[in-house]
Amino acid sequence: MSSDLKLHQLECLVAVADHGSVRAAAGRLGRSPTAVSKALRELEQSMNVVLMERRADGVGLTPSGTALLSHARLILGQLSRASEDVAQAAAKRGGTIRMSVTPWLMHGVIPAVVRDFREQRPDVQLDIAEHLGGDYPAVRNGQLDFAFGPSPDAGQERALEIRPIYTYSFAVVCRPGHRAAGARTIADLRGYDWLLSRSMERTAQAIRALLEDQRDEAVQRCHFARSVSAALAIVRSTDMLTAVPWPLIETPDMRDRFVALDFDAINDEITTCLITRRYEPLQGAALAFLETFWRVSRGLAGSPDGATRRIFSMVEPAYL
């Protein structure tokens, strides 16, 4: 197997994986389909493996192709960031910070961090996505600079640097006027539908047990929304229940719009972490943003503002 990989070959691999066909990839790259096919063929020959296979719906990756794809994204991402860093160093300005943020931190902390950072670095563009779950492919492959989210799922530790920040627990949430608003135990919630924004494996054990006990093929009690905002919008207009971090429900955006139910049985703790790539220290604007985050979050933890105090009363710092 040769290690004589060329950047244009990796670009073609990523483009075909993203667009599903050689023709679409060629259009995206501004090259001819013949040139893209040739680059992929040469890449397969240099590695002595089959990377692509034709399928009814286009072109797909083999297991070997999938394995190489994550490395290709990381290499191309690092080169792109290197070009940005050089340009920024020359101009002493500019650049984009790409991150994903868990919802409670997005509502409770990040707005103040962004306000402060924008005053320092008006030249930097921010690209912020919502983060759910414990999988971090966009951090691993270089599409994101970092993420704020729960501890990663097993198997990612070798590629990621994990720094715990806060721990918290969950509240069951319903709309005002809901029949379950006066529930005293988790058992009182039998018979209601749930809309969860986390996988069942990451849902509080007491809620999992309640839903498992009600498993019925004729009536589905558990549903999923891959956005906390979407889940809460639906819960606010239906009799469905959900579970959200306590600090999120204490934010001004949420506090008066929902009823939070506190049960002793729900005592699972989750840790919000800063997730970065291992062996790739952050630099430039991304590092400056995180420095602002640490400074502002420590200041918020001691804030005299009542709303801010309520948020931080629901978390335990893990970074001090």
CATH code (residue 224): 3.40.190.10
Mean pLDDT for the stretch of residues 187-192: 93
Please tell me whether residues 13 and 156 are part of one structural domain.
Answer: no
> Is residue 80 assigned to a domain?
no
How would you list the strands of the sheet with 270-277, edge to edge? 125-130, 96-101, 146-150, 270-277, 160-168, 316-317
Residues 274-306: tens digit of each pLDDT: 999 988 888 889 999 999 999 999 999 888 998
pLDDT at 128 over 90: yes
Q: Looking at the structure, do residues 42 and 116 belong to the same domain, yes or no?
A: no
Domain-embedded: residue 251: yes
Q: How far apart are CA 211 and CA 240, in angstroms?
A: 13
Beta strand ranges found along the chain (DSSP E): 52-55, 58-61, 96-101, 125-130, 146-150, 160-168, 170-174, 194-196, 222-224, 242-245, 259-261, 270-277, 316-317
Enumerate residues 6+ apart whose C-beta is below 8 A from 57: 20
pLDDT at 201: 85
pTM of the model: 0.71
The CA distance from 244 to 225, in Å, is 12
Domain boundary residue among 45, 75, 105?
75
Q: How confident is the model at residue 1 (pLDDT cuts 50, 70, 90)?
A: very low
pLDDT at 55 over 90: no
Which DSSP string corresponds to 85-106?
HHHHHHHT---EEEEEE-HHHH
Residue 276: name the closest of 30, 44, 99 by CA.
99
pLDDT of residue 3: 57
Shared-domain flag, residues 282 and 161: yes
Asked whether residue 281 falls in the same domain as residue 154, the answer is yes
- Output the DSSP codes for 153-190: PTT-TTTEEEEEEEEE-EEEEE-TT-GGGG--SGGGGT
Question: pLDDT tens for residues 193-250?
Answer: 999 998 888 888 999 999 998 887 688 899 999 899 999 999 999 999 999 999 999 9
In the numeric block, the tokens 């919502």 are attached to 130
DSSP 291: H
- Could you tell me if 153 and 216 lie in one domain? no
**Higher pLDDT among residues 123 and 60, named by residue:** 123
Distance CA 43, CA 10 (A): 8
Report the CATH number that the domain containing residue 37 is assigned in CATH: 1.10.10.10
Position 317 scores a pLDDT of: 87
Give CA–CA dist 39/31, Å, rounded. 11
Task: Mark whether 175 and 250 lie in a shared domain.
Answer: yes
Residue 61 is assigned to a structural domain of this protein = yes
Name the band, by pLDDT with cuts 50, 70 and 90, for residue 320.
Answer: very low
Count of structural domains, the chain = 3
Report d(CA 139, CA 147) in Å as an integer. 7
| Residues 175 and 234 both lie in one domain | yes
Average pLDDT, the chain: 88
% the chain with pLDDT above 90: 50
Which domain-ending residue is among 40, 75, 110?
75
Same domain, 69 and 123: no
Q: Which helix H or strand E contains 9, and what residues bound it?
A: helix 7-19
Q: Are residues 274 and 164 in the same domain?
A: yes
pLDDT band at 89 (very low <50, low <70, confident <90, very high): low
Lowest mean pLDDT among 19-33, 268-282, 283-297, 303-317: 19-33
What pLDDT sits at residue 267? 84
| Residue reference for tokens 């839903």 | 211
Identify the domain boundary among 75, 108, 134: 75
Q: Clarify whether residues 121 and 257 are in a common domain.
A: no
Residue at 279 is within a domain = yes
Q: Does residue 48 share a domain with residue 177?
A: no
Judge whether 187 lies within some domain.
yes
228 occurs within a structural domain: yes
Q: Is 94 exposed, middle or buried (0-12, 13-18, 19+ CB in 10 A)?
A: middle
Examine residue 81 and state whether it is found in any structural domain, yes or no.
no
Band the pLDDT of 75: cuts 50, 70, 90.
Answer: confident
Going by C-alpha positions, the residue among 172, 235, 243 that lies closest to residue 202 is 243
Q: Is the pLDDT of residue 314 over 80?
A: yes
Domain range for 290: 95-168+270-319
pLDDT band with cut points at 50, 70 and 90 for residue 100 = very high
Same domain, 147 and 103: yes
Does a structural domain hold residue 128? Answer: yes
